[in-house]
């Protein structure tokens, strides 16, 4: 009987450890998800800033000929490609 009681206690301890580990992993996962959300938001902000900058640059270069327009197109296409979800 003592042996069964001891085994039961060991298994209960093991289950408690697993539960604590599971809770810790869930907390860490939540924190990572929050960090990912912040980074995604920052990426969107930077993409918008890049597009706005590209548009401003295009206005400045508008009178400078075809070369400037080609460069602008490449910048804008690159920004749009990065903005599209994967």
Copy the structure tokens of residue 52. Answer: 């706005």
In the chain, where does DSSP find H-type helix?
Answer: 2-61, 66-83
Q: How far apart are CA 37 and CA 31, in angstroms?
A: 10
Give the residue extent of every domain in the chain.
2-83
Q: Contact, 55 vs 19, CB < 8 A?
A: no
Cα distances (angstroms) measured from residue 3 to each of 9, 10, 13, 20, 27:
10, 11, 15, 26, 36
Q: What is the pLDDT of residues 47-72, one digit of tens each?
A: 999 999 988 887 777 766 555 566 66
Higher pLDDT, 74 or 68: 74
Report pTM: 0.56
């Amino acid at each position: 009987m003592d042996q069964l009681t001891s085994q039961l206690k060991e298994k209960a301890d093991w289950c408690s450890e697993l539960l604590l580990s599971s809770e810790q992993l869930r907390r860490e996962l939540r924190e990572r998800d929050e960090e990912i959300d912040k980074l995604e938001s920052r990426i969107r902000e930077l993409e918008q800033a890049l597009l706005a900058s590209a548009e401003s640059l295009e206005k400045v270069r508008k009178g400078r000929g075809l070369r400037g327009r080609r460069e602008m197109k490449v910048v804008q296409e690159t920004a749009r490609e990065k903005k599209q979800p994967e």
